[in-house]
Chains A and B, each alone.
Chain A
Amino acid sequence: MILAVLFANSEGNILVERFNGVPAEERLHWRSFLVKLGADNLRGVKNEELLVACHKSVYIVYTVLGDVSIYVVGKDEYDELALSEVIFVITSAVKDVCGKPPTERLFLDKYGRICLCLDEIVWKGLLENTEKDRIKRLIRLKPPTEF
């Protein structure tokens, strides 16, 4: 299960978050835990360099892309390596939508499309589409494989 996908800006404000199967009362804890994790570790990290953490049997993989930091939290089959796949799909989709590693401004400009991409990538806590072209087609309401 992918428990959470979270985007934050460099100041730790949360831009997008998607929780799956996390009780409402725990979300705040996760949010602040992740933001703190980023504040402690993401300084000076290169774009898309993956960092890892774990809490009990929950794994966290996070990275930075432009002005935006991205966190993915998962458990069970979504271990640190599977989450690396997930975060790779997400970063490439974001780069695709924004055309480059986004500034915060650019990210917010493309907010809607990023949400749609995320909708195609993570569906009810499970990774769905991984191919860039396929995602691009699906957010334009085209069939996943075209003739």
Chain B
Amino acid sequence: MADSSGMTLMDLITADPSTVSASASTTTSSSASTQPAQSSGYAASPPKSSSSSGLPTALGKPAGEKRSKRASLMQIQNDTISAAKAALNPVRTNINMNSIMPQKHKQKQKKPVSYAQLTRSIHELAAASDQKSSQKQLVNHVFPKLAVYNSVDPSVAPSLLMLNQQCEDKTVLRYVYYYLARILSDNGAQGVSTGGGIPTPNWDALADIDAGGGVTRADVVPRIVNQLTTEASNADPEFHARRLQALKALTYAPSTNSEILSKLYEIVFGILDKVADGPQKRKKGVFGTKGGDKEFIIRSNLQYGALSSLRRLPLDPGNPAFLYRAVQGVSFADPVAVRHALEILSELSTKDPYAVAMGLGKHAEPGGALQDVLHLHDVLARVALARLCYTISRARALDERPDIRSQFNSVLYQLLLDPSERVCFEAILCILGKHDNAESSEERAAGWYRLTREILKLPEAPSVKDSSKDKSQKTRRPQPLIKLVMRRLESSFRSFSRPVLHAAARVVQEMGKSRAAAFSVGIQDIDETVHVNTFSETLDSQDSDSNETSHPESIRRTSLSAGVGGKDTIASLLASLMEVVRTTVACECVYVRAMVIKALIWMQSPHDSFDQLESIIASELSDPSWPATLLNDILLTLHARFKATPDMAVTLLEIARIFATKVPGKIDADVLQLLWKTCLVGAGPDGKHTALEAVTIVLDLPPPQPGSMLGLTSVDMVSASDPKSALALQRLVQAAVWFLGENANYAASEYAWESATPPGTALMMLDADKMVAAASSRNPTLAGALTRLQRCAFSGSWEVRIIAAQALTTMAIRSGEPFRLQIYELLHTLAQGGVQSQFSEMHLSNGEDQGASGTGLGVLISPMINILDEMYRAQDDLIKEIRNHDNANKEWTDEELKKLYETHERLLDLVSLFCYVPRAKYLPLGPVSAKLIDIYRTRHNISASAGLSDPAVATGISDLMYDSKPTAEEPDVLDDDLVNAWAANLGDDGLLGNNAPAMSRVNEFLAGAGTDAPDVDEENIISRPSVSYDDLWAKTLLESSELEEDDARSSGTSSPESTGSVETSISSHFGGMNYPSLFSSRPERSGGSRFSNPSTGVPSFSEGLGSPIREEPPPYSSPATQRYESFENPLAGRGSQSFGSEDDERTSSGNPQNGTALYDFTAGGDDELNLTAGEEVVIEYEVDGWFYVKKKRPGRDGKMAGLVPVLYVNQS
């Protein structure tokens, strides 16, 4: 049996290293799942008994374990049973014990020990626990080895309990308590306890398998609890050390078990009843000195044990006994007990500050127990004291008792002088109003006020506090808090210890947060150029309890003008601190540096120049050692900073731009975009232009220059030398272009449906120069954005150009004249880019053939031009009609109105395919149509927002836009008030969709959450939440050639079908990317699903789009088209040939058959295609039982065509 067991970490303990290296491979190699490169020392030799090993022998995850679980469970089971049998025959084992065991252990020196052996040894040795030798065995061999395992088999418990009762040896007993505690502690679902170590199976499940005599936790826990309870209640003074351990072990019982819990409360309060009420002698030097009063020491030990256990029990805020005992604990002799008492009190005080303050009563007075804690040599006790004082001194419940609050406040201020950084920093954070991540900005603002205004009345030593009110003591001048804090922080920044540096930077960051809150709450009269001592002098002359805390409402607005030019102004103190902080950026540790940068960002005020910060960040980002998670953390800090001070939008965008250009590969594009958007929304009417400029500045960057090291610190130089980050930068540029298209109208406050200019005026200005001039004078923001997009449409990579064209269309549709016309012209230029000579004097023909040098966007643009054509034509028709009616002076008939309305609706449908517009307000026929359409609507009771013919309603897309958030579609959201509200609680509006990964990350960050396990693969940019996008992107990249071929084949067919496909491929590019748009809640989703919506039986979208045009192809009679017909591009020009050609082409390409997917099918390879049951496909051909089919719309994965099994498709 013993030999069949596997090798474990035991080998490392028992055997000597030389033999271990050969035999221990099972353990170490599988434990190396955390570090694949298993090293030389335990180099892999074939695990000789792995097949029979009954235990998952890995530390860490049993990664290599592939054997059937059942088999290994049975193996253990056998071991356990035999061990139990051995235990059941105490007589025999007793006889054999002395002779066998030593021998056995001699063998063990060479042979590995199995878990089963260990448990058996325990059973055997427990039976002989009175023997010295067996005690020795237990202490030296068995117990230490058992410690390696993750959990302890409950079947050992009886033996442990036996040992506990019979054994005298204290070391054995200590181990026994240790293991009993581990059995008691909750094992969780998979038997994974908190213990770590070598994983063990789920003992209870094992015991269940063996119906015969398995021992489960449920069986032994009551016995253990009973025995421990008895011991913990044993009042024998000689027994009290064991009593403490028993109590401790009991606290490991899961807190969900109310029975054990109530027993524990009973014991703890029982002990305290006995020992807490006596006089608390606090003679210094009692501890550790010989000859202390024995009874007193035993009492103090019990006090300690009881309070420690109480601390581990759930808080019971309503229980007066709980509070009473905790208050008593503050004056206990044992320092650890005092710490626990204070921790309990500080937690209680967050629930019921009044009761705690009243309970503490005299302790808080000068000379009371709280003052003694100041000298206690226990850092965490003083930290708890700081928290306690903070909570009570800020409690509203104590508004009536300023005296009590000032007592606690003065203790808190004294903690600023604490020698330990931990305590001092905690005190600073408390004063700043930072507490538990849930602080309000008022609290923060008040914190900054306190820090800058108030004074510590105790000069050097707290002990002389009584004399501080004595004004004659000039040498002990009261100190302004800010001075103390600054001095302390500066000296901390000189420390060599990284934790200290990190903590100090964090404190400065919190200071920045409070300062920002103070500014935003409006304590503007904090004049940072005022001599700090002025305050203290003023306060001195006031009443003595003037350092009582002020709530934000009651903040005294002292307006002090004197004192400027003094030595220590707040500004100068801050400046010198920030100087020190900046130098800390030289620290080796990136985490410290990250904290410093965060601190700098927070301390940056909107009015200062940020050149220094900018250059620091730029040079930091050039360091390749920054992990992506940290960089994203800083990006989130920018977000938080913006929320605190919306004025900073432009500054922050500038900083964000550095990230975009320096480390495009490491940052989360989603978060960056969200930042852009929030900044844009929050920048306010004046800042919008600048904010948009800051975003789009990304577009103006020169292309990355690989290998250039010159401009590493220049912010304008792009560092994307490796292909990965070049690709990421490319994507950022695309994102920026898209963002520009989506949001330019918002930033410029220019909407077609709010345009005041009648279309007639604009149409007059056909001269391009005039038009541009008019446009830029009318709205420079929009004109600027247009110019940028134009440049991108001409000169970007093909991806960028496509998006730029899209963005331009969006803007054309959303903007009024003359912008629309300007874009219209530009689109024509793009579509016919091949005939450059006719457009640009730069390309005067020198006799060379210009060749096919078009922009390649013809296919893409022609549908866009079509829609604009349609709109202009319809507008012309309408004006003609109106004139006719006016001239003839006749009323509009219902028929005519109906026709008009239908045109209106049809155009709306078309327009909605390109971008989101508010259907209720948008007038494709121009403002003049408003009246007529209104008339028709009222006559026929048509609701404006969602007509039945709305394809969005028909296909269910409306659910995304209308139902989820009806307000989203109303342009009213653009009201300034709403927009501000929107920006203020961007986190919980439904507009962005709370599911957006970036959003949740931002919220999480702002909420200060952070227990999630870290991601280790930081090099992997795909590990970001936008994986779906990356996948999509990769796919589309791979497929792009095919797509383009398609386009080329049907080149120029400006049929709606091809619109659909190109549109689709683009919208699926952005489908997963969550581009923020101000217009719709989930534009990208609606965009994506618009086309990938599996046909739901109702008239599908492309049909809806296609049918009207197919039926009556536009005659291209609009004036604009005619104008350009003269220079028709021989290549792209085919687009305007005819619509009929498209259908011909399709039928001529073989004999495609339609079909419907019968079942869901998941693609097994790259050439296969995912199917959803009910999806319609076109069957191209059949190969070996497979159909090559094309979908009408690409599926979720973006694929259009591929192989599916014949049986999965029903041919129609």
Contact = CB atoms under 8 A, between A and B. Distances in A.
Contact of B32 (A12, A24, A111, A127): A12
Interface string B181-213: 100000011101011110000000000000000
Contact of A29 (B197, B300, B498, B1013): B1013
Interface in B266-297: 287-288, 290, 292-294, 297
Most B CB within 10 A of own CB, among A33, A56, A143: A143
A92 interface: no
Nearest to A53: B591
Contact of A123 (B173, B192, B312): B312
A95 interface: no
B1010 A55 contact: yes
Contacts of A84: 422, 497, 499-500
Interface stretch (B143-151, B958-966, B1181-1189): B143-151
A132 B773 CA distance: 82
A31 B32 CA distance: 11
Interface string A103-139: 0110011111101100100011011111001000001
Contact of A31 (B60, B147, B378, B1009): B60
Given A33-B1016, A36-B1016, A145-B297, A14 B196 contact: yes
B584 to A, nearest CB: 13
A142 interface: yes
Contacts of A19: 194, 196
A142 B287 CA distance: 15
A28 B171 contact: no
B244 interface: yes
A34 B38 CA distance: 17
Interface string A3-42: 1001000011111111111101111111111011001010
A147 B28 CA distance: 46
Contacts of A111: 13, 144-145, 147-148
Contacts, number: 222
B228 to A, nearest CB: 14
A133 B627 CA distance: 42
A79 B505 CA distance: 13
A28 B34 CA distance: 8
Nearest to B39: A11
A16 B197 contact: yes
Interface stretch (B92-100, B245-253, B1133-1141): B245-253
A143 B383 CA distance: 26
Contacts of A55: 629, 1010, 1014
Contacts of B177: 141
Nearest to B496: A49
A69 B195 CA distance: 18
Given A11-B41, A52-B502, A111-B148, A81 B421 contact: yes
B502 A145 contact: no
Contacts of B506: 79-80
Nearest to A78: B380
B387 to A, nearest CB: 8
Contacts of B175: 112, 116
Most B CB within 10 A of own CB, among A12, A17, A110, A112: A112
Most A CB within 10 A of own CB, among B181, B189, B190, B336: B336
Interface in B321-344: 334, 336
A42 to B, nearest CB: 12
Contacts of A80: 499, 502-503, 506
Nearest to A85: B379
B311 interface: yes
A61 interface: yes
B144 A112 contact: yes
Interface string B411-436: 00000000011100100000000001
Contacts of A12: 32, 34-35
Interface string A54-84: 1111100100000000000001110111111
A11 B13 CA distance: 17
B559 to A, nearest CB: 38
A56 B1009 contact: yes
A33 B173 CA distance: 37
B634 to A, nearest CB: 12
A119 B178 contact: yes
Contact of B174 (A14, A110, A139, A147): A139
A145 B383 contact: no
B175 to A, nearest CB: 7
A82 B28 contact: no
Contacts of B39: 11
A114 B1137 CA distance: 86
A115 B147 contact: yes
Interface in B493-533: 497-503, 506
Interface string B1004-1033: 110011111111100000000000000000
A13 B241 contact: no
A39 B197 contact: no
Contacts of B379: 82, 85
B59 A123 contact: no
A52 B312 contact: no
Given A111-B147, A127-B380, A145-B287, A29 B1015 contact: yes
Contact of B59 (A15, A36, A77): A15
Given A13-B32, A143-B298, A29 B1014 contact: yes
Contacts of B28: 13
A14 B194 contact: no
A71 B1191 CA distance: 55
B143 A35 contact: no
A140 B1009 contact: no
B407 to A, nearest CB: 23
Nearest to A41: B589
Nearest to B295: A147
B242 to A, nearest CB: 7
A13 B380 contact: no
B710 to A, nearest CB: 29
Contact of A58 (B190, B380, B421, B1010): B1010
B499 A112 contact: no
A98 interface: no
B1016 A81 contact: no
A36 B1019 CA distance: 13
Nearest to B141: A112
Nearest to B60: A14
B437 interface: yes
Given A11-B41, A26-B1013, A80-B499, 15 more contacts: A11-B38, A14-B31, A16-B196, A31-B60, A51-B589, A56-B1005, A77-B384, A82-B422, A112-B144, A126-B311, A142-B241, A144-B336, A145-B297, A145-B300, A146-B297
20 contacts: A13-B32, A13-B35, A14-B31, A24-B190, A27-B192, A32-B34, A52-B498, A52-B502, A56-B633, A57-B1010, A76-B436, A79-B506, A108-B9, A111-B145, A124-B251, A127-B380, A128-B308, A143-B297, A143-B301, A145-B287
Interface of B: 9, 12-13, 17, 28, 31-32, 34-35, 38-39, 41, 59-61, 143-145, 147-148, 170-171, 173-175, 177-178, 181, 188-190, 192, 194-197, 240-242, 244-245, 248, 251-252, 287-288, 290, 292-294, 297-298, 300-301, 304-305, 308, 311-312, 334, 336, 378-380, 383-384, 387, 420-422, 425, 436-437, 497-503, 506, 589, 591-592, 595, 629, 633, 1004-1005, 1008-1016
